[in-house]
């Protein structure tokens, strides 16, 4: 299988590249390295520096590689940034998606896998959230992801491609950028640096966390199953932000002692996703125990922040 992964040198994308290489796929990664790193990738992955919003470059790349599957993870991912500059958010998340869709369709690609988000649901009317619940985003990021979903369905079908849409919960794990404001990353960084972690809002807001390696497994499953369907991909249990901080502090043997900041625009009080559709169709379930995943994550950041840390390319498991 020939797989083109946009954003493949990033936090989630690099794990996806690794997972496909372990299954003897040929992997081409397109990334502008705005948040990703070349060192995140296995040596067997072919890397091309470029931006999904550059339609001419993307078209030529897809035509030359002729992918069987395109996995689209390149995005502007900050909810806060989307509210500060919705035009930039749309240019990347809508314009970039269209650029890659058109290139994929012209290349003869058979399948397009799109990374969407739980933010497309907005404030849930019921919990857990199901795929057929109302889609009413309250942040510009959710709006751009929902627009991307519609384009994937319409433009993909017009070019004879099947699609799979994955609505991701709060993904965490090794290789997230240290500048990320994702709770697990930000808290790990602060605790390891001996700084005071910052909790936005009151810390009682609960989210559905999912380990990045489990997300990579879902993407691999979506390459073969779930034609033209949408799936929730999450851990299926809610954990408050305060609980996440306490678990990380326990793993490091330190006191959390957070300070509090105002609520972030677009934040939701409680979220948990129903992933039974993914269980049945993709034959996927999150299988990494939460405490084990948090321990692996904080261990990776500890090693990264060590004064003797040296980043080297990952060798493929093939």
Residues taking part in catalysis: 141
φ, ψ (nearest 5 deg) of residue 139: -130, 150
Report residue 71 as tokens.
């996995």
**Cα 194 to the center of its chain, rounded Å:** 28
Residues with Cβ within 8 Å of 316's Cβ and at least 6 positions away in sequence, in order, are 18, 21, 22, 42, 43, 44, 45
Tracing tokens 């269209």 back to the chain, one arrives at 98
Please say whether the beta carbons of 102 and 161 come within 8 A: no
Please report, for residues 76, 96, 97, 109, the alpha-carbon distance to residue 51 in angstroms, rounded to integers and kept in the order given: 12, 8, 11, 19
Please say whether the beta carbons of 223 and 17 come within 8 A: no
**Cα 218 to the center of its chain, rounded Å:** 11
C-alpha span between 100 and 31 (Å, rounded) = 12
Please report, for residues 38, 70, 100, 176, 253, the alpha-carbon distance to residue 29 in angstroms, rounded to integers and kept in the order given: 10, 10, 13, 17, 38
C-alpha span between 143 and 81 (Å, rounded) = 13
C-alpha span between 254 and 294 (Å, rounded) = 15
Report residue 154 as tokens.
């319409």
């Amino acid at each position: 299988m020939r797989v083109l992964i946009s954003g493949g040198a990033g936090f989630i994308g690099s794990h996806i590249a690794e997972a496909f290489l372990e299954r003897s796929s040929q992997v081409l990664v397109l990334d502008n390295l705005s948040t990703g790193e070349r060192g995140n990738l296995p040596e067997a992955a072919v890397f091309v520096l470029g931006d999904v919003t550059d339609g001419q470059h993307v078209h030529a790349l897809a035509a030359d590689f002729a992918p069987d599957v395109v996995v689209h993870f390149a995005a502007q991912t900050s909810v806060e940034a989307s509210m500060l500059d919705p035009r930039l958010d749309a240019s990347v998340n809508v314009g970039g998606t269209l650029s890659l869709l058109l290139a994929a369709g012209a290349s003869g690609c058979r399948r397009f896998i799109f990374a969407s988000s739980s933010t497309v649901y907005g404030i849930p009317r019921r919990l857990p959230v199901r795929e057929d619940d109302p889609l009413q985003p309250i942040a510009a990021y959710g709006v751009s992801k929902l627009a991307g979903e519609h384009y994937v369905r319409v433009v993909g079908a017009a070019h004879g491609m099947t699609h799979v849409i994955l609505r991701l919960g709060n993904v965490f794990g090794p290789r997230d950028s240290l500048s990320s404001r994702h709770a697990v990353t930000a808290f790990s960084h602060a605790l390891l640096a001996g700084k005071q972690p910052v909790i936005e809002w009151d810390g009682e807001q609960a989210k559905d966390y999912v380990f990045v390696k489990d997300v990579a497994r879902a993407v691999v499953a979506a390459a073969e199953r779930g034609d033209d369907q949408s799936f929730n991909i999450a851990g299926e249990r809610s954990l408050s932000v305060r609980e996440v901080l306490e678990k990380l502090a326990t793993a490091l043997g330190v006191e959390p002692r957070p300070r509090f900041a105002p609520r972030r625009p677009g934040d939701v009080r409680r979220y948990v996703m129903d992933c039974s559709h993914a269980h049945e169709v993709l034959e996927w379930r999150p299988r990494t125990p939460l405490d084990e995943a948090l321990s692996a994550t904080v261990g990776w950041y500890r090693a990264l922040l060590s004064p003797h840390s040296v980043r080297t390319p990952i060798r493929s498991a093939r």
